[in-house]
């Protein structure tokens, strides 16, 4: 090839290889598996996907309590407190181009309840839902319920027409309700659309140019949510400018190192905590005195030292009981839980099982390495009582399978759990109501009629003073039963590169009181 032709060819290849604009890419990580179907979403990675790809009727206010309209333009409640009427915006389209109507809202709830997974239990109190024309939806509850409005933040609206075109095989005329389709593709109105999804590796999302609120220019054009990165890998990638936000599961010293190397820390003060959940259906922890002995022997002060990131930033705040400080029924912040070995020995003396014959299985989630330190600490704590234990490393995907059977569930499981909608009901009900045992949130398998009664009463009450009284009694009952060791109240910390600004996770005035929504990419700013 002669030089002029070669030069022309090189120029053409360069032009073809150069994009028309500089695309900004946000890279972050979470533990696998990322569940894309919003009817089956339950954990933190799922919430990140859900709040970016789908929208809900209402959202939490930023910087304070309460809710604001989102897909709805407003709502009203009748005098009985059981009929909620929502008027919908008329400018919302799904990524398919289909307009969002009341029929989509009805379909989304019907689908979630038919599948019966995820957050479907939050809507057990909904007696009927109906579309009143294209722009109005009416929910009728079986009884007044304070948590209902907040639960709607966990009802993502899906594109009925698109799902109906992609029904898979299954029982009944609705087949699989589009489960196979929505486990790999998206059908939302969100600010981002899914371009590829591998729940064990990575989900890639791109800006939705038709988003009804618009997406600011400074928001990332593409977001790459990676699954299962090792903490050392995250640290190296951020230092090299190849990663932007760590998960909350990295060890404190890694977050500290990233922040000290030009990065910064983001935080989300969740309405939940870090818990050691005891399997109440497996001996010896089927006895309350055995459980109370372990809870009394636990070293709460050392646990907080383990999760300190800096002198000013920590993954936890002292726990005072079963309910995080600041929520209905919580004990005073002035009375943190402390270790009491004398009480531990007294409870152990009342335990019908010989501690010399115990061999507790203490599990920790493989993707959360800091949990191994807690497992070792517990092992040492319990050894002081003459109790033997073994530590088992369990991948998250396997753990969620194990806890469906109390016989396979470890004696002690370590978990971070939060009030999923911001309401206390969505923290305690999925943990302790006997009707929902056997999920990742409830490996205690607690079955106590008084706890069930109080949970049902708290869900039905609408008066704040009444709810405070109910949950105060529930707090006391849970501490008496000791199904869980309440390690600390949670404060999630993420390490970020300097090119990323996340006001919802750095400015309290812009923070949301709902897990995961701070990762709404449209509210971020990413330098090219």
CA distances from 434 to 60, 122, 384, 445, 483 (A): 29, 15, 33, 7, 13
Q: What is the DSSP letter of 419?
A: -
Q: In the prediction, which pLDDT does 195 show?
A: 97
What pLDDT shows up at residue 9? 43
State CA 100 to chain mean position distance: 26
Helices (H), 335-417: 341-350, 370-383, 396-402
Token pair for 313: 């930033």
Q: How far apart are CA 196 and CA 90, in angstroms?
A: 29
Exposed e or buried b for every residue in 393-412, given b needs 16+ CB within 10 A?
Answer: ebebeebbebbeebeebbbb
Q: Give yes or no for a contact between 312 and 350, defined as CB atoms under 8 angstroms apart.
A: no
Please write down the HEC assignment for all residues of 41-92.
CCCHHHHHHHHHHCCCCEEECECCCCEEECCEEEEEECCCCCEEEEEECCCC
Residue 431: count of CB within 10 angstroms of its CB: 26
Contacts of residue 509, defined as CB under 8 A and 6 or more positions apart, other chains included, come to: 62, 63
Neighbouring-strand partners of residue 361? 390
Q: Compute the distance between CA of residue 225 and CA of residue 245 in angstroms, rounded to an integer.
A: 10
Q: Are 400 and 360 in contact (CB under 8 A)?
A: no
Strands 72-77 and 83-88, by their bridges, are antiparallel
Question: Two tokens at 387?
Answer: 């109790």
pLDDT of residue 326: 87
| Per-residue pLDDT, 12 | 41
Distance in angstroms (rounded) separating the CA atoms of residues 147 and 462? 8
d(CA 333, CA 39): 37
Rounded to whole angstroms, the Cα distance separating 143 from 310 reads 47
84 Cα distance to chain centroid = 26
Residue 384 is predicted with a pLDDT of 97
Which domains are seen in the chain, by residue range? 44-164 (3.90.76.10), 190-267+497-526 (3.40.190.10), 272-490 (3.10.105.10)
Residue 67 phi/psi, 5-degree rounding, is -135, 160
What is the DSSP code string of 194-253? Answer: EEEEETTTEEEEEE-TT-TT---TTS-SEEEEEES--HHHHHHHHHTTS--B--TTS-HH
pLDDT tens-digit profile, the chain (528 residues): 443 343 444 344 444 444 445 799 999 999 887 899 999 998 889 999 999 999 999 999 998 878 999 999 999 999 999 999 999 999 999 999 999 999 999 999 999 999 999 889 889 999 999 999 999 999 999 999 988 999 999 999 999 999 999 999 998 899 999 999 999 999 999 999 999 999 989 999 999 999 999 999 999 999 999 999 999 999 999 999 999 999 999 999 999 999 999 999 999 876 899 999 999 999 999 999 999 999 999 999 999 999 999 988 998 999 999 999 989 999 999 999 999 999 999 999 999 999 999 999 999 999 899 999 999 999 999 999 999 999 999 999 999 999 999 999 999 999 999 887 888 998 999 999 999 898 999 999 999 999 999 999 998 888 889 999 999 999 999 999 999 999 999 989 999 999 999 999 999 899 988 888 999 999 999 997
390 strand-pairing partners: 361
Cis before 33 (ω within 30): yes
| Helix 341-350, helix 288-297: angle, nearest 10 | 160
Residue 83 tokens read as: 């009929």
In 3D space, the residue among 234, 264, 222, 325 whose CA is nearest the CA of residue 507 turns out to be 264
- Decide if 151 contacts 426 (C-beta within 8 A): yes
Angle at 82 between CA 79 and CA 85, to 5 degrees: 85
DSSP-derived secondary structure letter, 411: S
User: Coil, helix or strand for 524?
Assistant: coil
What pLDDT is recorded for position 318? 96
Taking the C-alpha atoms of residue 330 and residue 327, their distance in angstroms, rounded to an integer, is: 6
pTM of the model: 0.83
Tokens of 85: 């009427």
CA distance 354 to 163: 57
SS3 of residue 131 by DSSP: strand
Closest CA to 56 of 41, 34, 35: 41
């Amino acid at each position: 090839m002669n030089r002029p032709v070669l030069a022309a060819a090189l120029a053409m290849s360069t032009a073809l290889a150069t994009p028309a604009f500089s695309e900004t890419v946000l890279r972050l990580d979470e533990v696998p598996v990322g569940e894309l179907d919003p009817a089956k979403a339950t954990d933190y990675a799922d919430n990140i996907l859900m709040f970016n790809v789908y929208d809900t009727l209402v959202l939490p206010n930023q910087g304070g309590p309460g809710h604001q309209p989102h897909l709805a333009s407003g709502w009203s409640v009748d005098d009985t407190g059981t009929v909620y009427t929502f008027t919908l915006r008329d400018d919302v389209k799904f990524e398919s181009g289909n307009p969002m109507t009341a029929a989509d809202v009805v379909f989304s709830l019907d689908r979630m309840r038919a599948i019966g997974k995820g957050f479907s239990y939050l809507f057990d109190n909904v007696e009927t839902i109906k579309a009143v024309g294209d722009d109005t939806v009416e929910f009728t509850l079986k009884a007044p319920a304070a948590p209902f409005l907040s639960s709607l933040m966990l009802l993502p609206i899906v594109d009925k027409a698109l799902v109906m075109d992609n029904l898979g095989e299954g029982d009944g005329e609705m087949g699989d309700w589009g489960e196979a389709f929505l486990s790999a593709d998206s059908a939302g109105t969100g600010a981002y659309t899914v371009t590829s999804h591998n729940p064990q590796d990575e989900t890639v999302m791109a800006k939705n140019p038709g988003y009804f609120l618009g997406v600011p220019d400074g928001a990332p054009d593409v977001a790459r949510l990676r699954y299962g990165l090792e903490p050392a890998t995250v640290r190296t990638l951020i230092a090299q400018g190849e990663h932007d936000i760590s998960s909350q599961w990295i060890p404190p010293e890694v977050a500290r190192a990233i922040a000290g190397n030009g990065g910064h820390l983001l935080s989300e003060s969740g309405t939940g905590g870090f818990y050691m959940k005891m399997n109440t259906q497996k001996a010896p922890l089927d006895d309350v005195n055995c459980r109370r002995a372990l809870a009394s022997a636990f070293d709460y002060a050392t646990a907080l030292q383990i999760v300190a990131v800096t002198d000013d930033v920590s993954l936890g705040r002292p726990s005072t009981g079963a309910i995080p400080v600041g929520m209905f029924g919580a004990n005073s912040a002035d009375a943190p839980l402390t270790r009491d070995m004398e009480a531990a020995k007294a409870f152990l003396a009342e335990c019908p099982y010989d501690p010399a014959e115990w061999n507790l299985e203490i599990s920790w989630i493989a993707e959360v390495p800091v949990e191994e330190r807690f497992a070792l600490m517990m092992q040492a704590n319990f050894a002081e009582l003459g109790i033997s234990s073994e530590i088992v490393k369990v991948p998250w995907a396997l753990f969620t399978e194990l806890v469906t059977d109390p016989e396979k569930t470890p004696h002690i499981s370590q978990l971070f759990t939060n009030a999923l909608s911001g309401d206390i009901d969505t923290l305690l009900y999925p943990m302790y109501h006997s009707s929902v045992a056997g999920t990742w949130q409830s490996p205690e398998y607690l079955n106590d009629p008084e706890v069930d009664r109080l949970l049902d009463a708290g869900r039905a009450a609408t008066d704040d003073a009444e709810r405070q009284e109910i949950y105060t009694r529930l707090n006391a009952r849970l501490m008496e039963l000791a199904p869980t060791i309440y390690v600390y109240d949670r404060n999630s910390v993420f390490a970020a590169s300097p090119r990323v600004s996340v006001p919802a996770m750095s400015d309290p005035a812009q923070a949301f009181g709902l897990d995961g929504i701070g990762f709404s990419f449209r509210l971020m700013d990413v330098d090219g």
